[in-house]
Chains A and B, each alone.
Chain A
């Protein structure tokens, strides 16, 4: 039997689905993990560890195990994508206007400061995982969003599974970044491919199923804002320019063993643009890319939709 709970945390929607387990215990476990994640690496909490690290002005800082893990993941994602995903985009994001929880940005408009300047690049970060010490140069600001939310989904799924009890299965979604663990329901965990993760999962559109692993979607159409001058930006920054990525893709969805890896790969697809399919083929990850005109490219074993599946709007593919 499935039990579902929805709420908001860390600036996004949370969905928890528990298969044959203790839903209250699982939710409490997820809430504890998210509180810890928020305190460790939110860019918008003045008391977070990440904010303190960004303000350390080049001093070496010893960080918590959780922030160290998140930072290590972001640096590995940068290596794995040859810098297409880069944690040093924090300042660029702030300059283009993504300087607060998106719930508070979406309703405002203000001038955008467009300055073409590549981000400093992940190699300027000095990090020793064995001692959990890190040095971030002055004027470099980290943002772990591209991998941090995925990691949070992974951690939440692991915690929820343990709390749900023996034989249970769990699905955790943080704004559409989905991690599953344990025993799936018959037929697997069904996930609707949508333009917006807030879409009703029982609505029309392509539905896929996974029994393990994770799935993440990066989008240029949802977390998006416009200035008074009509200049539009979105939250996926191209490290080569420091500006919102210009890309042929509306959304990129990738399935991987972990949501951290899936999120890194989906973000890389947006940044890489036309080079994304070739890169995905080498990475060996199933993916679904929706072009700006609504056409869909399925790669790496991503299946064609069922012939009788209800069709969603073109943008969602």
Chain B
């Protein structure tokens, strides 16, 4: 068994153990409901002399509502050509 095979074997065994300890989805849910609204609402104070800094507030002030009560933006079925593709990059 070479080093790579051993590493794969170790990985599989350890992953199996780790997955038994998978982060509890209940705890995740609590975090999620308070998290993404805050992520969208975060602002910070800084200089506005640079383009990116100037738009930080504008880009992150669109929502302060918790996703626990408000779903993300609506998604509709569309027909026709896309304006852009989303996928891996």
Residues in chain A within 8 A of chain B (CB atoms): 2, 4, 12-13, 15, 17, 29, 32-33, 36-37, 40, 64-66, 68-69, 72-73, 76-77, 79-84, 112, 114-116, 129, 132, 151, 154-155, 157-159, 162, 171, 173-179, 185, 187-203, 207-223, 229, 231, 240-241, 243, 246, 251, 253-258, 260-262, 264-265, 272, 275, 278-279, 282-286, 300-306, 308-309, 316
Contacts and interface: CB of A to CB of B under 8 A. Distances in A.
Q: For the side of the interface on B, what is the size category?
A: 35 or more
Contact of A82 (B31, B59, B76): B31
Which among B69, B71, B83 has the highest number of chain A CB atoms within 10 Å?
B83
Given A36-B51, A158-B58, A196-B88, 19 more contacts: A15-B84, A65-B47, A73-B39, A77-B35, A79-B35, A80-B34, A82-B24, A162-B58, A176-B84, A176-B88, A190-B80, A191-B86, A196-B89, A207-B82, A208-B75, A208-B76, A243-B11, A272-B23, A303-B75
26 contacts: A17-B84, A65-B53, A69-B53, A72-B42, A76-B42, A82-B31, A155-B59, A158-B59, A162-B55, A171-B84, A173-B85, A207-B77, A208-B77, A222-B87, A241-B11, A241-B14, A261-B36, A272-B23, A275-B22, A279-B29, A285-B67, A286-B72, A286-B75, A301-B75, A303-B76, A306-B78
B56 to A, nearest CB: 5
Given A190-B78, A207-B78, A306-B78, A279 B32 contact: yes
B1 interface: no
A284 B70 contact: yes
A124 B49 CA distance: 31
Contacts of A241: 11, 14-15, 18
A119 B50 CA distance: 33
A72 B41 CA distance: 12
Contacts of B36: 80, 256-257, 261, 264-265, 283, 285
Contacts of B71: 284-286, 300-301
Contacts of A309: 79
A82 B27 contact: yes
B12 to A, nearest CB: 9
A189 B81 CA distance: 10
Interface of B: 4, 7-8, 10-11, 14-15, 18, 21-25, 27-29, 31-36, 38-40, 42, 44-47, 50-56, 58-60, 62-63, 67-89
A208 B87 CA distance: 13
A155 B52 contact: yes
A116 to B, nearest CB: 5
A196 B87 contact: yes
B55 A201 contact: no
A190 B85 CA distance: 9
A76 to B, nearest CB: 5
A76 B39 contact: yes
B28 to A, nearest CB: 5
A81 B28 contact: yes
**Max chain A C-beta neighbours (<10 A), residue from B60, B80, B81, B88:** B88
A121 to B, nearest CB: 12
A114 B67 CA distance: 38
A81 B59 contact: no
Contacts of A17: 83-84
Contacts of A151: 59
A174 B79 CA distance: 23
B21 to A, nearest CB: 8
Given A213-B72, A284-B71, A201 B82 contact: yes
A260 B73 contact: no
Contacts of A256: 36, 40, 72-73
